[in-house]
């Protein structure tokens, strides 16, 4: 299956599940409060499958899998016969309507907890955040961060693994400092370093959050052994195979992958004599890198090989696995962390600490879904939990077209004792739709620029 089809299928499955969960939240609470639900639709456009239940609700799976909706009986939308007015959404109390609207985002948060609960029951492979070296004159080096130290807390919050440390560091964008609690791996001595991040520049598209601070983590390194030879590449035409170890190029002895990468990039359309070790025998091949354009816009060579990585240091790897009840607690904690980070990122967009060029749209989400699905169940569940939280947070934003906007109007009604005028709501909906379309357009353009 091609990468495009795999990404598309993974995206449809992930989004379909998350939208169903969100809309089911509205649907279930609406019925519990005596509201007649006319339609429960997953997707938009032409109905592909439809059926009705005993209470008259039409369930639909539609052709465009980019959302969904729950249509309730409402006098503001369609005429309602007098005998059915008690079943209309607009005839319920303010608190009942607030519960129905809030149930969608709440379902996404609960679903994220469930996904994380399943993950921690199965067991989540993690890696300890150990600093191998710091970059000269970097923020970390100036703060006195040393080598072979493990990050155990960031601003007082535990950082047991690289994933958690990454989220905690991103959350510090826009602040003045970061307090790292570090532990020497050999002596186990604990110390604290304060990083001055007033001039911190971080571009998530080109570097990791650790690298932007000058922290080089202890990770597997690229070796001089070939792991993958791309189809129809210059390397395949030259006869290179997976498992080959590159011993020398143009007479230069190879000791690290960095040498291979440099020589390939510096010699587009120039033949390279490569001494290889294959099945304990040395052989010489000639490969000519193709001319291509790098991320910086300059021409460079491309051979089409991917290096094998050195194994993980065993003392860095561990598995987080919990019992039934402990996994619930961990799931709630992780969901809260993701929720807090999501709201923080929205705030940083508004304050300018984070650029809108970092927004991601459906293409990036599809690529993420495909990649994590290929990596296995745990990675896909983790991705689903993240997107579920993001979906809940986005829907709580106070834009009138979203659940958060409806909640905003209901809170105003609760305070004033009467509904917001239909004219004001209509203006708000138009404004909300404009802002949402603008953000979606920016996200889509960002996606296209990354292709």
Per-residue pLDDT of the chain (451 residues; tens, 9 = 90+): 566 677 778 878 888 899 999 999 999 999 999 999 999 999 888 889 999 998 889 999 998 887 889 999 988 888 888 888 899 998 999 999 999 999 999 999 999 999 999 999 999 898 899 998 899 899 999 999 988 899 999 999 999 889 889 888 888 888 889 999 999 988 889 999 999 998 888 877 778 889 889 999 988 888 999 999 998 999 999 999 999 999 999 999 998 898 999 999 999 999 999 999 999 999 999 999 998 876 566 788 899 999 998 887 778 888 999 999 999 999 999 999 889 888 888 887 777 666 666 566 555 555 555 666 666 788 888 889 989 999 999 999 888 888 999 999 999 989 888 888 888 888 888 887 787 777 777 666 655 665 5
CA atoms within 13 A on the CB side of 333: 11
The fourth-level CATH superfamily of domain 222-310 is PDZ domain (2.30.42.10)
| 75 among known catalytic residues | no
Q: Residue 98 has which token pair?
A: 């607030």
Write down the H helix ranges in 174-277.
209-212, 234-238, 257-266
Percentages helix, strand, coil for the chain (3-state, rounded to 5) are 45, 25, 30
- Which CATH architecture group holds 124-219+312-319? Roll (2.30)
The residue behind tokens 């993980």 is 312
Contact at 8 Å (CB) between 118 and 321? no
Q: What does DSSP assign to residue 100?
A: H
As beta bridge partners, residue 278 has: 281
pLDDT reported for residue 365: 56
pLDDT reported for residue 4: 67
pLDDT reported for residue 30: 95
pLDDT reported for residue 360: 61
The residue from 23, 149, 171, 330 that is catalytic is: 23
Continuous segment of H or E residues that includes residue 335: helix 324-351
As beta bridge partners, residue 39 has: 58, 71
- The answer to whether domain 124-219+312-319 and domain 222-310 are alike in fold is yes
pLDDT reported for residue 207: 80
CA distance linking residue 139 with residue 196, whole number of Å? 7
Q: Domain residue spans in the chain?
A: 124-219+312-319, 222-310
Q: What does DSSP assign to residue 77?
A: T
pLDDT reported for residue 297: 64
Q: What is the pTM of this model?
A: 0.81
CA distance linking residue 305 with residue 292, whole number of Å? 14
CA distance linking residue 40 with residue 101, whole number of Å? 15
Cα separation values, 415 from 96, 130, 404, 411, Å = 15, 52, 17, 6
Residue 152, burial from CB neighbour count under 10 angstroms (0-12, 13-18, 19+): middle
């Amino acid at each position: 299956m091609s990468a495009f089809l795999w990404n598309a299928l993974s995206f449809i499955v992930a989004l379909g599940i998350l939208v169903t969960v969100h809309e089911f939240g509205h649907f279930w609470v609406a019925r519990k409060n005596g509201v007649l639900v006319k339609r429960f639709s997953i997707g938009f456009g032409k109905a592909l499958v439809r059926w009705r239940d005993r209470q008259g609700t039409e369930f639909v799976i539609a052709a465009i899998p980019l959302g969904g909706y729950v249509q309730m009986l409402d006098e503001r939308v369609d005429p309602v016969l007098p005998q059915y007015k008690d079943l209309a959404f607009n005839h319920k109390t303010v608190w009942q309507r607030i519960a129905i609207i809030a149930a969608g985002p709440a379902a996404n948060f609960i679903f994220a907890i469930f996904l994380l609960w399943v993950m921690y029951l199965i067991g989540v492979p993690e890696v300890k955040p150990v600093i191998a070296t710091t970059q000269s004159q970097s923020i970390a080096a100036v703060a006195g961060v040393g080598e072979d130290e493990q990050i155990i807390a960031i601003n007082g919050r535990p950082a047991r693994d690289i994933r958690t440390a990454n989220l905690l560091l991103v959350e510090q964008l826009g602040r003045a400092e970061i307090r790292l609690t570090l532990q020497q791996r050999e002596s186990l001595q604990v110390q604290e370093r304060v990083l001055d991040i007033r001039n911190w520049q971080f571009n998530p598209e080109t570097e990791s959050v650790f690298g932007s601070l000058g922290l080089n983590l202890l990770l597997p390194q690229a070796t001089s052994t070939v792991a993958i030879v791309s189809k129809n590449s210059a390397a395949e035409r030259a006869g290179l195979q997976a498992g080959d170890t590159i011993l020398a190029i143009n007479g230069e002895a190879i000791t690290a992958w960095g040498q291979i990468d440099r020589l390939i990039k510096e010699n587009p359309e120039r033949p390279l004599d490569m001494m290889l070790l294959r099945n304990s025998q040395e052989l010489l091949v000639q490969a000519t890198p193709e001319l291509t354009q790098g991320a910086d816009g300059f021409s460079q060579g491309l051979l089409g090989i991917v290096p094998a990585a050195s194994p993980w240091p065993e003392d860095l790897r561990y598995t987080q696995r919990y019992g039934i009840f402990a996994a619930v607690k961990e799931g709630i904690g992780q969901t809260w962390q993701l929720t807090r980070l999501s709201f923080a990122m929205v705030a940083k967009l508004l304050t300018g600490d984070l650029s809108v060029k970092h927004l991601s749209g459906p293409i990036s989400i599809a690529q993420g879904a495909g990649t994590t699905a290929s990596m296995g169940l745990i990675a896909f569940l983790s991705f689903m939990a993240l997107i579920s939280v993001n979906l809940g947070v986005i829907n709580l934003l106070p834009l009138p077209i979203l659940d958060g906007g409806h909640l905003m109007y209901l809170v105003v009604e609760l305070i004033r004792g009467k509904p917001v005028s239909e004219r004001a709501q209509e203006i708000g909906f138009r404004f909300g739709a404009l802002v949402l379309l603008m953000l979606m357009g920016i996200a889509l353009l960002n996606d296209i620029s990354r292709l």
